[in-house]
């Protein structure tokens, strides 16, 4: 038996459980020509090992390796009285196991399950099963789907080849620390410090993971920038531990959509595995790094994968969250919307569905306001009420004039003012309990023939039956559907009429005219009114159509009880490649009619081109 030791010893970097192997390494010295005394244990010198091949096999207990040299097999039984061959040691299960760390070369290969690395030292073959410690490291994360502006990746995994490094194929969990914009500047960073074996903190080695903000913008986390540190020691208990991954972070919503630094919110953190509160580390910190005394957390009593956090936002738009136990660590940015600690905000809400002619209870809440008022009347006749407080409820009658296009209720509005005379207004809008919410044709048939298929997109609720009306022709149309193709034989103005169980009629398309064309026809018509700057009525009209080349359009304006003619306008064909279509655009001022923003009106236009004639109408 060889009794001399290697002068340089062997250093294991990554796994605490390998420490017991060191006492067996002295037996390897005589195999690798270290100039030590000869051995008398009968171990075989590799230089004298016979060459082998498939036709010239090795003796029992050995095999022919890739260099055609006989090599001892691993796994034989052993004891103190019956030691293993050179290059192996007797493990706790009294089974021979290959040592790691011996010198090697092409003529002196490593034992089975090991490879000769670039430094001429035997190390485990990465193809063998994982037996090392759980490691953490940090690498740069390029711009991409994980981090739109780049950042860092905190990786974890089992060191399967026991080389002390976390190779890419060993990673089983990743947390990303991402830059928040493309302009650079102060960002959150993570840095990993190695703890050598023999240290009082980690006898078997480990890491300390530091984190903080890069205040001097040098791209590195300097010592004075470290704001938090988590120590993780190598441990047999962590060798088979799953990675720790933050799957979701859900922040309790703020009623105004802006998170107030004066409030504490609940954060629900979903992890990939159970955790133990007794050895868990949870921290939130931001660029100012002013830990709040109210910050608290707990593991859910019924689900050990859930961590609940009492979260108080800082003046910054995000806060970094770190969770760790003895074996793994994960970090993630908790993103908040902009507008923290808004100087003024208002919201209006109700549990009732608006129904014309009935009362509903409207409630309001405001932030940092000193007074509020509500406009609960129609748009034409405001009825302002000074509210008694900056939050409360009031009953409001739903008026027909407040219902837009039969589909949602658009009042009332609440306006609040703070001590600096700043104001913020919120207009309540909610879909009716029943009605047509949307209606529009999709695409057009540009061909001159009839019978083209048109698709219509509509959304309605509570309707018993519907009809599509093109001019005076009615087509059956499915109720409460989203997309339906219809084959039409004529073009014109399209409206949708639906009836509910009470025979109440809902019409969509009267105010916002929907037009289709089968052969020649108008495909778009829109008109609106305004003030010409002198108090007179100004009217703008836009019309587009298909296969109308030499026609003209004329019409009539009815406005605030007065009537005026709209002079004929010639059709203007468009240039190629749109030469199959044309348009009319006009701006007219009616000096005899004063502009009244609350007045009602109608424009009716008739367009002709040879035998073609089409009339369209739109409410103003």
Strands of 95-187, DSSP E:
96-98, 114-116, 122-124, 134-141, 151-158, 171-178
Measured CA to CA, the distance from residue 186 to residue 213 in angstroms comes to 6
Measured CA to CA, the distance from residue 497 to residue 476 in angstroms comes to 10
Measured CA to CA, the distance from residue 144 to residue 516 in angstroms comes to 45
Closest CA to 585 of 534, 545, 533: 545
DSSP label of 581: E
pLDDT in tens, 405-442: 666 778 788 999 988 888 998 888 888 777 777 787 77
Phi, psi of 17 (to 5 degrees): -70, -10
Domain at 412, CATH number: 2.60.40.2470
Closest CA to 488 of 507, 469, 506, 460: 469
Q: How many CA atoms lie within 13 A of 458 on its CB side?
A: 32
* Predicted local confidence at residue 328, as pLDDT: 85
* Predicted local confidence at residue 416, as pLDDT: 92
Confidence check: pLDDT of 21 > 50: no
* Predicted local confidence at residue 270, as pLDDT: 93
Measured CA to CA, the distance from residue 564 to residue 547 in angstroms comes to 29
Is the separation of the CB atoms in 369 and 389 below 8 Å?
A: no
Is the separation of the CB atoms in 433 and 404 below 8 Å?
A: no
Of the chain, the percentage scoring pLDDT greater than 70 comes to 77
Which has more pLDDT, 67 or 591? 591
Measured CA to CA, the distance from residue 22 to residue 9 in angstroms comes to 8
Ramachandran assignment for 287, one of left (phi > 0), alpha (psi -120 to 50 degrees), beta (any other)? alpha
Strands of 234-288, DSSP E:
246-251, 265-271, 281-285
How confident is residue 2, by pLDDT bands cut at 50, 70 and 90? very low
Most confident region among 108-112, 286-290, 312-316, 527-531 by mean pLDDT: 527-531
Confidence check: pLDDT of 301 > 90: yes
> Residues 121, 164: one domain?
no
Say which residue the tokens 């914009």 belong to: 181
Confidence check: pLDDT of 124 > 70: no
DSSP label of 68: S
Tokens of 314: 């800082």
* Predicted local confidence at residue 556, as pLDDT: 95
* Predicted local confidence at residue 34, as pLDDT: 29
> Residues 423, 458: one domain?
no
Number of domains in the chain: 5
Phi, psi of 194 (to 5 degrees): -80, 135
> Residues 89, 134: one domain?
no
Say which residue the tokens 């010409």 belong to: 532
Most confident region among 118-132, 248-262, 563-577 by mean pLDDT: 563-577
DSSP label of 45: P
Confidence check: pLDDT of 293 > 60: no
How confident is residue 372, by pLDDT bands cut at 50, 70 and 90? very high
DSSP label of 84: P
Tokens of 593: 């009619």
* Predicted local confidence at residue 473, as pLDDT: 86
Measured CA to CA, the distance from residue 540 to residue 529 in angstroms comes to 6
Virtual torsion, Cα 84, 89, 91, 96, nearest 10 deg: -40
How confident is residue 376, by pLDDT bands cut at 50, 70 and 90? confident
Confidence check: pLDDT of 565 > 50: yes
Is the separation of the CB atoms in 619 and 507 below 8 Å?
A: no
Tokens of 450: 């009839």
* Predicted local confidence at residue 554, as pLDDT: 93
Which has more pLDDT, 284 or 167? 167
Which has more pLDDT, 36 or 288? 288
Is the separation of the CB atoms in 549 and 571 below 8 Å?
A: yes
Tokens of 607: 């367009």
Strands of 259-400, DSSP E:
265-271, 281-285, 296-299, 306-311, 318-324, 329-335, 345-349, 359-367, 371-375, 384-386, 391-397
* Predicted local confidence at residue 184, as pLDDT: 52
Tokens of 490: 């004529």
Domain at 540, CATH number: 2.60.40.10
Domain at 497, CATH number: 2.60.40
How confident is residue 612, by pLDDT bands cut at 50, 70 and 90? confident
Tokens of 7: 């002068």
When computed from its CA atoms, the radius of gyration of the chain, rounded to whole angstroms, is 40
> Residues 294, 183: one domain?
yes
> Residues 215, 154: one domain?
yes
Residue where a domain terminates, one of 501, 516, 531: 516
Confidence check: pLDDT of 307 > 90: yes
* SS3 state of residue 198: coil
* SS3 state of residue 584: strand
> What are the residues whose beta carbons fall under 8 Å from the beta carbon of 200, sequence distance 6 or more?
none
Residue where a domain terminates, one of 516, 546, 569: 516
How confident is residue 511, by pLDDT bands cut at 50, 70 and 90? low
Most confident region among 7-16, 292-301, 584-593 by mean pLDDT: 584-593
Concatenated DSSP letters of 472-515: TEEEEE-SS-SEEEEE-SS-EEEEEEEEETT--EEEESSSS-EE
Measured CA to CA, the distance from residue 283 to residue 209 in angstroms comes to 13
Q: Which of 158-172, 377-391, 540-554 has the least mean pLDDT?
A: 377-391
pTM for the full model? 0.45
> What are the residues whose beta carbons fall under 8 Å from the beta carbon of 37, sequence distance 6 or more?
2, 3, 4
Beta strand 359-367 with 188-195 is unpaired
Say which residue the tokens 């007179």 belong to: 536
Mean pLDDT of 323-331: 86
pLDDT in tens, 170-211: 888 888 887 766 555 557 788 888 888 888 888 888 888 888
Which has more pLDDT, 515 or 126? 515
Q: What is the mean pLDDT of the chain?
A: 76
pLDDT in tens, 483-497: 677 888 777 888 899
Is the separation of the CB atoms in 428 and 394 below 8 Å?
A: no
Say which residue the tokens 């390897």 belong to: 28
For residue 90, what are the domain limits? 1-125
Concatenated DSSP letters of 377-417: S-SSS--EEE-SSSEEEEEEEPPGGGEETTTEE---EEEEE
Which residues are bridge partners to 122 per DSSP?
Answer: 116
* Predicted local confidence at residue 382, as pLDDT: 63
Tokens of 270: 């979903």
* Predicted local confidence at residue 69, as pLDDT: 72
* SS3 state of residue 54: coil
Say which residue the tokens 């703890």 belong to: 195
> Residues 360, 394: one domain?
yes
With DSSP H G I counted as helix, E B as strand and the rest as coil, what are the percentages for the chain, rounded to 5?
Answer: 5, 45, 50
Confidence check: pLDDT of 41 > 60: no
Confidence check: pLDDT of 289 > 50: no
Tokens of 563: 């009537």
* SS3 state of residue 71: strand
Phi, psi of 278 (to 5 degrees): -70, -25
> Residues 172, 276: one domain?
yes
Distances (CA, A) of 122 to 20, 92, 108: 18, 22, 10
How confident is residue 445, by pLDDT bands cut at 50, 70 and 90? low
> Residues 325, 385: one domain?
no
Mean pLDDT of 81-89: 73
Measured CA to CA, the distance from residue 286 to residue 12 in angstroms comes to 38
> Residues 241, 320: one domain?
yes
Strands of 196-245, DSSP E:
206-213, 228-233
> Residues 272, 139: one domain?
yes
Q: Is 295 exposed, middle or buried (0-12, 13-18, 19+ CB in 10 A)?
A: middle
Mean pLDDT of 90-110: 74
pLDDT in tens, 454-482: 888 887 778 889 999 987 888 888 887 66
> Residues 446, 399: one domain?
no
Confidence check: pLDDT of 44 > 90: no
Closest CA to 330 of 186, 163, 134, 143: 134
Residue where a domain terminates, one of 431, 461, 478: 431
Distances (CA, A) of 613 to 70, 100, 522, 523, 548: 100, 94, 10, 13, 10
> Residues 463, 557: one domain?
no
């Amino acid at each position: 038996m060889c009794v001399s030791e290697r002068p340089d010893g062997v250093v294991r970097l990554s796994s605490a459980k390998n420490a017991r192997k060191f006492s067996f390494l002295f037996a390897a010295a005589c195999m690798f020509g270290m100039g030590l005394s000869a051995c008398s244990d009968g171990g075989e010198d590799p230089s004298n090992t016979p060459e082998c091949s498939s036709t010239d096999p090795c003796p029992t207990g050995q095999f022919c390796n890739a260099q055609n040299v006989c090599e001892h097999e691993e796994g034989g039984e052993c004891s103190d009285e019956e030691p293993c061959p050179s290059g192996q040691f007797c493990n706790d299960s009294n089974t021979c196991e290959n040592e790691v760390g011996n010198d090697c070369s092409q003529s002196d290969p490593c034992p089975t399950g090991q490879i000769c690395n670039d430094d001429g030292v035997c190390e485990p073959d990465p193809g063998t099963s994982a037996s090392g410690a759980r490691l953490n490291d940090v690498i740069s994360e390029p711009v991409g789907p994980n981090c739109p502006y780049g950042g860092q990746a905190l990786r974890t995994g089992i060191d399967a080849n026991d080389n002390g490094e976390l190779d890419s194929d060993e990673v089983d969990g990743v947390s990303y620390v991402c830059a928040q914009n493309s302009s650079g500047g102060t960002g959150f960073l993570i840095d990993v410090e190695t703890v050598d074996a023999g240290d009082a903190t980690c006898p078997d080695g480990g890491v300390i993971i530091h984190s903080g903000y890069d205040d001097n913008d040098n791209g590195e986390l300097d010592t004075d920038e470290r704001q938090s540190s988590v120590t993780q020691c190598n441990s047999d208990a962590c060798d088979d531990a799953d990675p720790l991954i933050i799957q979701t972070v859900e922040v309790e919503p703020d009623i105004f959509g802006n998170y107030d630094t004066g409030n504490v919110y609940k954060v629900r953190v979903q992890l990939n595995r159970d955790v133990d509160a007794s050895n868990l580390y949870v921290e939130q910190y931001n660029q100012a790094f002013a830990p709040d005394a109210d910050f608290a957390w707990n593991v859910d009593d019924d689900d050990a994968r859930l961590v609940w956090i009492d979260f108080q936002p800082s003046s910054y738009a995000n806060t970094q969250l770190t969770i760790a136990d003895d074996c793994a660590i994960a970090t993630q940015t908790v993103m908040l919307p902009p507008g923290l600690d808004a100087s003024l905000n208002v919201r209006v809400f109700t549990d009732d569905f608006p129904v014309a002619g009935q009362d509903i209870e409207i409630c309001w809440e405001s932030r940092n306001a000193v007074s509020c008022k509500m406009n609960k009347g129609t748009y034409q006749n405001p009825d302002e009420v000074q509210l008694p407080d900056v939050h409360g409820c009031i009953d409001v009658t739903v008026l027909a004039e407040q219902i837009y296009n039969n589909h949602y209720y658009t009042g009332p509005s609440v306006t609040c003012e703070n001590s600096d005379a700043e104001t913020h207004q919120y207009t309540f809008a909610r879909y009716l309990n029943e009605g047509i919410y949307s209606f529009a044709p999709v695409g057009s048939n540009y061909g001159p023939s009839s019978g083209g298929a048109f698709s219509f997109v509509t959304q309605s609720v509570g309707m018993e039956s519907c009809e599509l009306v093109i001019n005076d022709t009615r087509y059956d149309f499915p109720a409460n559907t989203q997309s339906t193709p219809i084959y039409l034989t004529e073009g014109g103005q399209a409206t949708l009429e639906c009836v509910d169980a009470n025979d109440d009629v809902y019409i969509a398309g009267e105010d916002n005219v929907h037009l289709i064309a089968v052969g020649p026809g108008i495909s778009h018509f829109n008109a609106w009114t305004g003030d010409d700057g002198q108090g007179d009525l100004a009217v703008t009209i836009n019309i587009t159509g298909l296969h109308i080349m030499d026609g003209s359009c004329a019409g009539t304006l009815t406005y605030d009880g007065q009537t005026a003619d709209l002079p004929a306008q010639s059709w203007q064909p468009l240039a190629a490649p749109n030469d199959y279509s044309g348009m009319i655009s006009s701006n007219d001022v009616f000096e005899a009619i004063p502009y009244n923003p609350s007045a009602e009106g109608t424009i009716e236009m008739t367009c002709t081109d040879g035998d073609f004639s089409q009339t369209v109408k739109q409410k103003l």
